[in-house]
């Protein structure tokens, strides 16, 4: 491993925080210190926003040939691939993700996102409303300005790419605040951007706590828009901060994904999909399939298959490619997950998975948990656990399944398992969620937007037309072609 950057990245320079404070970043698998990074406060945030503001108002980035912007994004994608091993190991060490996942998904996905958005800049188009003989109205899309991007710790590099790629493709400058838990790969990404030649101030990375750095960032009057991924409680705070300066807001928040299994579904695929959906990254995923809805007639068979399959999973050292499961990202989060498990037991949910074979070890390890007999009024069915906890719920018919699935404050994603195409589309149309996967279909791709119903968010993450809508301003120009004008009031 190369030495990690440990300073703030502002205006293409590595700088210490003005207060001189440090933040220790730990490996959650064994508690060892990885790095001590500079900690930002409001003064550092102001410096970063001012750098981004100057880069947007005076620098070349928003006025650059769109193809030239795209080439830099494409080069950055190549740099990410060149540094695959180091970036993957960094996120594995930083948040306990299995190396097989960071190598196989997280880092390649980040590269794919930059590569895909590299083709967008010269395709952002306006419209012409030329229906009158003496007047033409044109709509232009222009870069928006300075974007404050705040991302969580569960997919450090991928989350950074999800924000930066569309923001930069649309010609904006950005101040990125990764989680203080997991800043290392974001700093490495900034270093790669410096190497490929991004102009000063276009990308700035500051790290610090929500109160010391996050709040000053989103409240800064030099920021034009806030884009945030995280818990819905923090999302509500973003809406309050957006009142200062009347900023735009894009929020990708929590989820409580239901997976409805109909009796005609192929059970082998269902089992694999359900296990991946909830235990990948130990459930620390906003779209984790945490609610499994099974028909009463298949309840016992499905659970038996799932429990048997979970028994083949290996949990342990995240750096060992043989292990499927690593650990939770922090000791504090482990306590939160344990509290939810204890609350579920008190409310009458039945723990049905004997996971003693999985090594919990020390640090932040926690094995998969499955609860049966879960009802919609239980805390574990209503709140986002963000951990390896599957809640099994039984339905009687299609109408009952839809009712249970929609009985949630969240609506980020839903899964439907059936071989009946008519039923798949009929049910999907009635589910209140922004993303529906039928029979495990789909993956995270730049061109597919992520929407949130209810408390799961505002606006669209990813997508091409959607990115242009989220990260550009629209301007109408009314062009008179008439040569004679009658003065008012004649």
Give Cα separations from 194 to 76, 402, 409 (angstroms). Answer: 9, 50, 42
> What is the DSSP annotation of 124-164?
---EEEEEETTEEEEEEEEE--EEEEE--SSSHHHHHHHHH
Pull the structure tokens for residue 71. 């080439």
Q: Cβ distance 162 to 286 under 8 Å?
A: no
Catalytic option among 170, 286, 327, 364? 286
Please state, in angstroms and rounded to a whole number, the distance separating the CA atoms of residues 186 and 112.
16
Q: What's phi and psi for 121, nearest 5 deg?
A: -50, -40
Cβ–Cβ under 8 Å, residues 283 and 387: yes
Q: Is the peptide bond before 29 cis (omega within 30 degrees of 0)?
A: no
Q: Which of 35, 219, 252, 461 is catalytic?
A: 252
Q: State the number of CA atoms in the 13 A half-sphere of 343 facing the CB.
A: 16
Q: How many helical (H) and strand (E) elements, i.e. helices and strands, does the chain have?
A: 16, 24
CA distance 456 to 41: 29
Residue 344 near residue 378 (C-beta atoms within 8 A): yes
Active site residue 286: yes
Phi, psi of 126 (to 5 degrees): -100, -155
451-461 burial code (b ≥16 CB/10 A, e <16) = bbbbbbbbbbb
Helix boundaries (H) for 32-148? 42-57, 66-82, 84-95, 99-101, 107-117
Pairing of strands 135-143, 127-132: antiparallel
d(CA 305, CA 124): 48
* Helix 156-169 × helix 84-95 angle, to 10°: 120
Residues belonging to the active site: 252, 286
């Amino acid at each position: 491993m190369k030495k990690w950057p440990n300073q703030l990245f502002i205006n293409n320079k590595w700088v210490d925080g003005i207060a001189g404070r440090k933040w220790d970043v730990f490996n959650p698998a064994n508690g060892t210190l990885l790095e001590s990074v500079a900690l930002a406060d409001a003064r550092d945030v102001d410096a970063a926003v001012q750098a981004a503001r100057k880069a947007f108002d005076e620098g070349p980035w928003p006025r650059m040939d769109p193809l030239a912007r795209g080439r830099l994004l494409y080069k950055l994608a190549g740099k990410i691939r060149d540094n695959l091993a180091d970036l993957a190991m960094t996120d594995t060490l930083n948040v306990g993700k299995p190396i097989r996942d960071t190598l196989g998904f997280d880092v390649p996905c980040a590269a794919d996102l930059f590569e895909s958005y590299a083709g967008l800049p010269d395709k952002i188009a306006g419209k012409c409303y030329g229906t009158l003989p003496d007047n033409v109205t044109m709509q232009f899309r222009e870069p928006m300005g300075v974007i404050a991007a705040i991302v969580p710790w569960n997919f450090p590099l991928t989350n950074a790419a999800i924000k930066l790629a569309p923001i930069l493709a649309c010609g904006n400058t950005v101040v990125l605040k990764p989680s203080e838990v997991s800043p290392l790969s974001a700093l490495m990404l900034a270093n790669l951007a410096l190497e490929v030649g991004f102009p000063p101030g276009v990308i700035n990375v500051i790290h610090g706590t929500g109160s010391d750095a996050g709040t000053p960032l989103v409240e800064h009057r030099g920021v034009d828009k806030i884009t945030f991924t995280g818990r819905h409680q923090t999302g509500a705070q973003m809406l309050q901060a957006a009142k200062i300066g009347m900023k735009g807001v894009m929020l990708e928040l929590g989820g409580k994904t239901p997976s409805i299994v109909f009796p005609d579904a192929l059970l082998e695929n269902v089992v694999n999909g359900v296990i991946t959906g909830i235990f990948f990254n130990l459930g620390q995923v906003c779209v984790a399939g945490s609610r499994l809805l099974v028909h009463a007639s298949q309840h016992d068979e499905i659970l038996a298959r799932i429990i048997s399959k979970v028994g083949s999973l290996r949990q342990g050292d995240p750096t060992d490619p043989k292990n499927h499961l690593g650990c939770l990202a922090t000791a504090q989060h482990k306590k939160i997950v344990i509290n939810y498990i204890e609350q579920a037991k008190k409310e009458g949910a039945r723990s049905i998975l004997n996971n003693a074979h999985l090594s919990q070890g020390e640090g932040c390890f926690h094995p998969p948990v499955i609860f049966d007999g879960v009802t919609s009024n239980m805390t574990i069915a209503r709140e986002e656990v963000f951990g390896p906890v599957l809640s099994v719920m039984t339905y009687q018919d299609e109408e009952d399944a839809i009712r249970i699935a929609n009985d949630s404050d969240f609506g980020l994603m839903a899964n439907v398992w059936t071989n009946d195409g008519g039923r798949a589309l009929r049910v999907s149309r009635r589910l209140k969620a922004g993303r529906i996967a039928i029979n495990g279909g789909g993956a995270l791709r730049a061109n597919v937007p992520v929407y949130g119903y209810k408390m799961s968010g505002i606006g669209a993450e990813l997508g091409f037309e959607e990115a242009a809508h989220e990260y550009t301003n629209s301007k109408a120009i009314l062009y008179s072609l008439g040569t004679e004008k009658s003065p008012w009031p004649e």
